[in-house]
Structure 1
Amino acid sequence: MDKLPHSVLLQILSRLNDSADVACCRVAWKAFDTVSPGIRSIHLQCSKEWYDMASSSQRIKPLKTVFLDLISKLETVESVCIVFVHWISRASDDFSLTDGDFAEWLPRVSGSLKSLSVSNYDTQSPSNVLVLISAYCCNLVSLKLDSAWLNVRNLNPMPTLTKYKAPREAGDSEFSLRKVFTVFPNVSSLCIQSEPWSELETYMNSYPEGWMILDGRKGLKTICAYLELADPSLTFSFLSCILDQCVGLSEVSLLMHIEDDIQRTIADSFWSKCVARWPGLKWRRGIRMSFMEDLWISDAISN
């Protein structure tokens, strides 16, 4: 192994899907440790097994310790992805990423960072993580902050960002697409989870005049929406407002919550109505069920 060129060793490490394996390789083989600073991405998944072992043994390092050690060693960081599983308690600081943690490493890598994804990241109080990201990451292209309670006030514009997941608003209910497109003016792909979608519907219902702000936006090409369909008519009105104004749209993906036959009937009717109303779009349909992964069940392309 020591005789292999450094470029080959670096390729081996770069092809590992989990950065925890990279950390193990660095410990097991000096040659890997030597070339590891050349890796440009971090992908860590905090599984239940990892959590249990780290909680019961001092020999297993917690996710946060591994992550901070990895990122401190890299010369250039272009992509960071951290995934927490749903059923891990994040009461322990060793398994959480707080504002202070982001402030510790984000400024150092912000100039090269192109993609940032933290899934099932949760907080018990409003987080300023998005504020920090907008302050430092001037070259970020893709951002995903899932299940986070985010403060969206005082954000700096992020013109390079083209892929964005709408957060849960902290502080008030006036979370609107105006804020999204003001801070991220060049977004081409937008994914909105069920909680922020519900907040957007509520805001639209209370302040209908506030929605005439998309101004025929041509840059938005794809939308993915997670729908509860508690009030199908309100959901359709909100969707209509977006689709009728964003004239550059080409694809819409809808994941609808279905647990029984009644919800399935409502979802089928809603789906048919959407496809018939906007015949020029490519449609993708998915199902969301409790404790299961999202399931894509059909595509519909209207002529």
Structure 2
Amino acid sequence: MATTHLEDLPSHLLVEILSRVADSGDLACCRLASRTLFSLSRFVSSASVSLRPASASPIPFKSRVLHLVSLLSASLLSLSLSTEPGRAADSDDDEGEWFDEADDLHLTSVDFLSTWLPLVCESLKELSIADCWSQSCFRRSGALSLISVLCNKLLKLEVRKAWLSVNGLKPMLRLTSLTLVYIRLDDEDLEKINECFPNLQFLSLMDVGGLKTPHIQLSHLKTFFWRVSNAPLSLSVHAPHLTELHLSCIEPKFLTLETPRLALLDLMISVPSGDIKLGHFQNLINLRFNSWDYMRLFKNLNGGHSVKTLELGVPDGEASTELEPSVIMIEDLVDLFCGLEELKLVGAARHSILGGLEDIKLCLKRLVIKVEKSNLYDFGAISEVLKLCTPCEVALLLPGDMESAAAKKDVVDKYARKFPEFRWK
């Protein structure tokens, strides 16, 4: 059998392989391995550098970053820097305890960014920085302002675990994607973000603290993930072209959604006791409510007749003995969601729907029920739900840690024998 050498691979494949070499020292070694790799290394357009144990890389992290950027300055389009060793950039785990504290890991420091960002700012399209929270939490950074001044062609920006300022922020008209995770913002609102990033189509704000009355007003926004970490007085979203919204909060006093084109609304409000205005939804198809009071949310919902898929769940971390899901009468559900095709019930939500005096049933195509390991054979509770539905397909979501596929099949078979009029999966 003929032997295939590395140099025999297509050039584009070799460039892809080199793009996955995160460490500047390793990349330098690859370049010296052959003339082919040396010549192709200048075409590497994507690089990712993550923290390593001191034993694995004696070179300080910031020095490695500067070396790599200098090496690829002519071709670099996408760069990811992370102080989270051996993890993807979206990990929320704490940093390891093994790194050398003498190595300054404050990646959003303006002084550090100024050493390498000018080398690639003219061509950089994507930038991701996951800072070291133990070193960045007490040092306010003007990183956003510097990036906005230098990186005029940036399309996608992601910053994690940092204390950021928006003072001096300049408009970035090409930026279409912004992700801020575990970020401290001292500003009381997001007006500067709205003003300087007007063309955002994707926005993710996850555990962004320090906001009291945040207001999102972005006319081009299409997808929005927002997990509110503190308890602001009010939340409002004005986005006329938004089609997908995932909003998680505790108990806002005021919530306003002016998002008429939503197709997917994923809303988690533990206790919706404040003033809630969900606006009018013209094209809402997928609706997910995670709350202890569904009916309060339903009463504020305009445009539920177009909903095809409805998912009901209860918040994690709450004791069901202290808070019980609000009761939903079957006739209210049928009236609110006359076009419903699929209903998904998670946890205690399956106990919240009750039959009325009239013989009214849900005409579904599919019923999905999530079953906990402690209640695998809760035939009584399942039976109460099935009584409210005409025969349809029923899917059981079983615990992922079950021993085998055969064990899962055994559970489904038992339900199928108990309720043969339904189609079980």
Same fold (TM over 0.5): yes
Task: Give the whole-Å Cα distance in 1 for the aligned partners of 2:316 and 2:38.
Answer: 42
Q: 1:269 to 1:63 in 2, by over 3 A?
A: same
Task: Give the whole-Å Cα distance in 1 for the aligned partners of 2:77 and 2:293.
Answer: 38
| Bigger RCO (CA 8 Å, 6+ sep) | 1
Give 2:242's aligned residue.
249
Give 1:185's aligned residue.
198
Does residue 113 of structure 1 match 2:111?
Answer: no
Give the conservation status (yes or no) of the 8 Å contact 2:222–2:243. yes
Other structure's SS at 1:93 match? coil
Other structure's SS at 1:133 match? helix
Task: Give the whole-Å Cα distance in 2 for the aligned partners of 1:221 and 1:275.
Answer: 23
Whose strand fraction is larger, Structure 1's or Structure 2's?
2
| CA offset digits 1:234-264 (Å, max 9, x no partner) | 67x41xx21xx2221111124569xxxxx99
Give the conservation status (yes or no) of the 8 Å contact 2:18–2:44. yes
Deviation at 1:11, TM superposition (A): 3.4
Q: 1:114 to 1:288 in 2, by over 3 A?
A: farther
Q: 1:100 to 1:174 in 2, by over 3 A?
A: closer
Give the conservation status (yes or no) of the 8 Å contact 1:255–1:287. no
Q: 1:271 to 1:82 in 2, by over 3 A?
A: farther
Give the conservation status (yes or no) of the 8 Å contact 1:174–1:203. no
Task: Give the whole-Å Cα distance in 1 for the aligned partners of 2:204 and 2:213.
Answer: 18
Deviation at 1:116, TM superposition (A): 0.5
Gaps of 5+ in 2: 85-93, 251-267, 272-288, 318-344, 347-425
> Which of 133, 153, 159 pairs up with 1:145?
159
Give the conservation status (yes or no) of the 8 Å contact 2:291–2:315. no
Whose helix fraction is larger, Structure 1's or Structure 2's?
1
Give the 5 Å matches for 1:110-259: 110-122=121-133, 123=136, 124-166=138-180, 167-169=183-185, 173-196=186-209, 199-200=210-211, 202-203=212-213, 211=215, 214=217, 217-228=218-229, 231=231, 237-238=234-235, 241-242=236-237, 245-254=238-247
Q: 1:264 to 1:136 in 2, by over 3 A?
A: closer
Q: 1:218 to 1:19 in 2, by over 3 A?
A: same
| CA offset digits 1:29-77 (Å, max 9, x no partner) | 564344212100111222xxx22425xxxx6333322221111011221
TM-score (norm 2): 0.51
Instruction: Give the share of equivalent positions with the same residue, in percent.
Output: 26
Q: CA RMSD in A?
A: 3.8
Other structure's SS at 1:66 match? helix
Task: Give the whole-Å Cα distance in 2 for the aligned partners of 1:149 and 1:90.
Answer: 22
Give 1:53's aligned residue.
55
Deviation at 1:272, TM superposition (A): 4.3
Other structure's SS at 1:154 match? coil
Does residue 35 of structure 1 match 2:40?
Answer: yes
Aligned length: 255
Q: 1:52 to 1:252 in 2, by over 3 A?
A: same
> Which of 87, 90, 94 pairs up with 2:95?
87
TM-score (norm 1): 0.69
Other structure's SS at 1:51 match? coil
